[in-house]
Amino acid sequence: MQDAPVIAVDGPSGAGKGTISHLLADRLGWHFLDSGALYRVTGQACLIEGVSWDDHPAVTEVARHLDVSFTYAESGEVLVAYKGADVSAVIRTEEGGRGASTVAAIPAVRDALLARQREFCRPPGLVADGRDMGTVVFPAADLKFFLTASAEERAERRFKQLISKGESVSLPRLLEDIQERDARDSTRSVSPLVPAEDAIVIDSTTTTIEQVFDQVMLEVARKGLY
Ligand SMILES: Nc1ncnc2c1ncn2[C@@H]1O[C@H](COP(=O)(O)OP(=O)(O)O)[C@@H](O)[C@H]1O
Ligand SMILES: Nc1ccn([C@@H]2O[C@H](COP(=O)(O)OP(=O)(O)O)[C@@H](O)[C@H]2O)c(=O)n1
């Protein structure tokens, strides 16, 4: 099922998955899958096409025919486009996160995006960032991490991140959003947010990005992947 080695990085919002996955893909020279971006673009595409997030058959059609592309800018930044138009910034807003988490709870939408996610698995290897990389999309992954941190710490991180991008947000509102999103992601019937049985769980509530990355690299080396 897998054409190349895969490292799965799962966990809740703000746990540091994107940060650690990017560092890891850079260090190994592997491809990178931002599966959350596919759900975010699906939510955004619905807004663009005038499809309500509650209209499950219509949202599924949008996901099935999603015209999305990922390209790398010279700065190293990933540009995400829908039908050729840049949606990189708008999909990263809190509204974008809410849309993603709403459409991601529709089983047929997850099915529609499954094959597309697996296509990212190409030599020399793939670092896959998401919620169900180790449980559903790449169950045979060579190494699985589940990153987590307290909801308060994750809200604080998200707050700083959004403020630095010039978004006006309130910390209590963000904490509420994170808790709502955690609940929705963890209780949905398909691909709920749970660590794979063989995942290495890393809680970064009180550790720095560097410390988490060192721990991850130790496991990668132990597996002979670097
Ligand atoms: N261990 C950590 N300590 C402090 N800040 C962190 C840590 N890990 C990530 N961050 C910061 O938290 C924010 C969210 O991280 P991100 O990688 O986007 O999380 P996720 O992809 O899991 O939602 C970023 O601004 C990132 O720099
Ligand atoms: N593999 C994935 C990735 C994301 N998602 C959903 O998409 C939303 C946004 O994912 P993301 O990884 O971009 O979000 P953050 O962790 O960066 O907040 C999540 O809240 C999940 O509901 C999912 O269901 N499965």
| Span from the CA of 223 to the centroid of ligand 2 (angstroms) | 27
Nearest C-alpha neighbor of 104 from the set 199, 196, 189: 189
Q: In which band, very low, low, confident or very high, does the pLDDT at 76 lie, cut at 50, 70 and 90? A: confident
Nearest to 155 by CA among 216, 94, 77: 94
Q: Provide, rounded to the nearest whole percent, the portion of the chain with pLDDT above 70.
A: 100
pTM confidence score: 0.95
Assess whether the C-beta atom of 125 lies below 6 angstroms from ligand 1. Answer: no
Residue 61 is part of which domain span? 6-222
ipTM surpassing 0.95 = yes
pLDDT number for residue 1: 64
Cα 139 to ligand 1 centre (Å): 25
pLDDT band of 99, cuts 50, 70, 90: very high
Nearest residue (by CA) to ligand 2, atom 5, is 36
Give the number of the ligand closest to the Cα of residue 149. Answer: 1
Instruction: Give the count of domains, the chain.
Output: 1
What mean pLDDT is reported for the chain? 94
Taking the centre of ligand 1 as the mean of its atom positions, its distance from the CA of residue 60, in whole angstroms, is: 30
Establish if 153 belongs to a structural domain: yes
**175-198 pLDDT, tens per residue?**
999 999 899 888 888 888 889 999
Distances (CA, A) of 76 to 26, 70, 72, 87, 211: 10, 12, 6, 17, 23
For residue 130 and ligand 1, the question of a CB distance below 6 A is answered with: no
At residue 169, the pLDDT reads 87
Helix (H, G, I), strand (E, B) or coil at 32: strand
Quickly state the pLDDT bin for 215 (edges 50, 70, 90): very high
What pLDDT is attached to residue 168?
Answer: 86
**Is residue 1 domain-resident?**
no
Give 3's DSSP letter. S
Q: Which residue minimizes the CA distance to atom 10 of ligand 2?
A: 36
Task: Tell me which residue has its CA closest to atom 25 in ligand 1.
Answer: 161
Q: Is the CB of 101 under 6 A from ligand 1?
A: no
What CATH number should be reported for the domain holding residue 173?
3.40.50.300
Q: Which tokens sit at 103?
A: 């459409």
Q: Does ligand 2 have an atom closer than 6 angstroms to the CB of 181?
A: yes
More confident residue, 123 or 189: 123
Residue ranges for the known binding site are 11-19
Nearest residue (by CA) to ligand 1, atom 3, is 208
